């Protein structure tokens, strides 16, 4: 029997990775986004997650067995994040309820489950690292918690199983994505090379020196598929990272080497990318013209605010994956190669020189 998946946010870094993995595994895939691509092998579904009527109309003829929710909408405050993102998830689950076909729903959240929302990121009383799934919620408002509560309530009402996936910083390729560290660093490195600016690490000394980890979107996709098809993994939350650890002082030199740049020493003061790249549209326009690249709007490629938030943390951030490992999830991805694969793809797509 062919399994049918609905991927919500299919054009993003995470959504495009799970879409491709499902196609590779012979699933039928409906790819939902505001502006779905006409990719071969998928059913494009256009809908606004904040518009219940739009969703009901778009999903009326679909009978998905599995739903993968991989998107969110950034708002000005955490209260608005909660209101909007909880409603989006609730709207999707309500729209597919009449089909009575759903067996499993996978929700992607992240380490803000342990670190707190952006308004209180890495502040106050935090769980001890490495973060483990059994650590409880923080006593702060967090849209991840609101999304989970919507998922749990719908699962109880409709009888499907669920999984929650908590990646660290995700690497992958998607133009216009709100959180895109690998592409941001690729554009930054390209600008440094073009202008002979030093390739300066933009984060905190703690992040430079401490052990950390990351999550390749393909690794996250593998865990989502594993959890969706492994009965023992039903109704569980899982951390997911690549399976290795590194220090940014080492990774920074690896990225510099890829772009044939010298890696600058750690700077005398914090040098966030949002400040470094504030006026870089003009130089990017020049680079695009010189190399015949396909995206002239630097804002559609970079998310310096997000890269600064992740690399500027004042605490060690490392994740434990023992839970899913013990249950049989054994996939692994070297984190430096994950970056290189993104950079290679960006060059192939003519997005960086």
202-246 pLDDT, tens per residue? 999 999 999 999 999 999 999 999 999 999 999 999 999 999 999
Q: What is the DSSP letter of 131?
A: B
Query: Is the residue at 327 inside a domain?
Result: no
Confidence of residue 95 (pLDDT cuts 50, 70, 90): very high
Same domain, 154 and 182: no
Instruction: List the catalytic residue out of 26, 114, 121, 144.
Output: 144
Give the residue numbers spanning the domain of 59.
4-167
Same domain, 14 and 160: yes
Query: Is the residue at 24 inside a domain?
Result: yes
Query: Is the residue at 257 inside a domain?
Result: yes
Same domain, 20 and 77: yes
Same domain, 21 and 162: yes
Instruction: List the catalytic residue out of 26, 63, 100, 112.
Output: 112
Confidence of residue 176 (pLDDT cuts 50, 70, 90): confident
Same domain, 107 and 197: no
- Dihedral Cα 306, 311, 316, 317, nearest 10 deg: 40
Query: Is the residue at 321 inside a domain?
Result: no
Backbone phi and psi for residue 203, each to the nearest 5 degrees, phi listed first: -100, -165
Same domain, 131 and 262: no
Same domain, 10 and 146: yes
Average pLDDT over residues 307-327: 95
253-270 pLDDT, tens per residue? 999 999 999 999 999 999
Same domain, 194 and 305: yes
Share of the chain above pLDDT 90, in %: 89
Cross-strand pairs, 212: 246
How do the residues of the chain divide into helix, strand and coil, expressed in percent and rounded to 5? 45, 15, 40
Q: What is the DSSP letter of 172?
A: -
3-state SS assignment for residue 18? helix
Residue partners of 136: CB distance under 8 A and separation at least 6 = none
**pLDDT reported for residue 175:** 86
Same domain, 208 and 118: no
**pLDDT reported for residue 310:** 93
Q: Which of 37-46, 68-77, 302-311 has the lowest mean pLDDT?
A: 37-46
Query: Within 10 A of 290 (CB to CB), how many other CB atoms are there?
Result: 10
**pLDDT reported for residue 194:** 97
Q: Could you give the number of structural domains in the chain?
A: 2
User: Does the pLDDT of residue 301 top 90, yes or no?
Assistant: yes
Same domain, 180 and 268: yes
CA 192 to chain centre: 26
CATH code, domain carrying 158: 3.40.50.720
- Dist. CA 295–CA 292, nearest whole Å: 9
2-43 pLDDT, tens per residue? 789 999 999 999 999 999 999 999 999 999 988 777 677 899
The CA-to-CA distance between both ends of the chain, in Å, stands at 45
Same domain, 48 and 181: no
Is 112 one of the catalytic residues?
yes
Same domain, 273 and 341: yes
User: Does the pLDDT of residue 274 top 90, yes or no?
Assistant: yes
Is 144 one of the catalytic residues?
yes
- Which tokens belong to 347? 């060059």
Last residue of a domain, one of 167, 199, 229: 167
Query: Is the residue at 53 inside a domain?
Result: yes
Query: Is the residue at 230 inside a domain?
Result: no
Last residue of a domain, one of 167, 191, 223: 167
User: Does the pLDDT of residue 121 top 70, yes or no?
Assistant: no
Query: Is the residue at 162 inside a domain?
Result: yes
Long-range contacts of 249-252 (CB under 8 A, 24+ apart): 249/201, 249/208, 249/209, 251/335, 251/336, 251/339, 252/199, 252/201, 252/208
Query: Is the residue at 22 inside a domain?
Result: yes
């Amino acid at each position: 029997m062919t399994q049918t998946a609905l991927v919500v946010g299919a054009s993003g870094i995470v959504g495009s990775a799970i879409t491709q993995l499902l196609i590779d595994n012979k699933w039928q895939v409906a790819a939902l986004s505001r502006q779905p691509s006409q990719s071969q092998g998928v059913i494009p579904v256009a809908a606004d997650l904040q518009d219940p009527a739009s969703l009901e109309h778009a999903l009326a003829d679909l009978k998905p067995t599995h739903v993968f929710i991989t998107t969110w909408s950034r708002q000005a405050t955490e209260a608005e994040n909660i209101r909007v993102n909880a409603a989006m998830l609730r709207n999707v689950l309500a729209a597919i309820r009449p089909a009575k076909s759903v067996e499993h729903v996978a929700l992607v959240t992240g380490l803000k489950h342990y670190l707190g929302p952006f308004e209180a990121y890495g502040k106050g009383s935090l769980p001890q690292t490495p973060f483990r799934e059994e650590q409880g919620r923080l006593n702060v408002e967090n849209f991840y918690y609101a999304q989970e509560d919507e998922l749990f309530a719908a699962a109880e009402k409709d009888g499907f199983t669920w999984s929650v996936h908590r990646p660290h910083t995700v690497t992958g390729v998607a133009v216009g994505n709100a959180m895109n560290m690998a592409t941001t660093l690729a554009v930054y490195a390209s600008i440094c090379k073009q202008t002979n600016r030093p390739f300066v690490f933009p984060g905190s000394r703690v992040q430079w020196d401490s052990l950390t980890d990351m999550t390749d979107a393909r690794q996250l996709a593998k865990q989502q598929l594993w959890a969706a098809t492994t009965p023992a993994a039903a109704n569980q939350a899982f951390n997911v990272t690549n399976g290795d650890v590194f220090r940014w002082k080492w990774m920074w030199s690896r990225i510099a080497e890829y772009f044939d740049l010298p890696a600058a020493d750690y700077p005398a003061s914090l040098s966030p990318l949002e400040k470094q790249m504030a006026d870089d549209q003009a130089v990017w326009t020049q680079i695009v013209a010189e190399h015949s690249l396909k995206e002239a709007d630097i804002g559609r490629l970079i998310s310096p605010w997000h890269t600064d938030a992740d690399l500027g943390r004042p605490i060690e951030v490392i994740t434990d994956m023992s839970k899913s490992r013990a249950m049989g999830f054994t996939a692994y991805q070297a984190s430096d190669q994950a970056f290189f694969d993104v950079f290679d793809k960006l060059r192939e797509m003519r997005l960086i020189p």
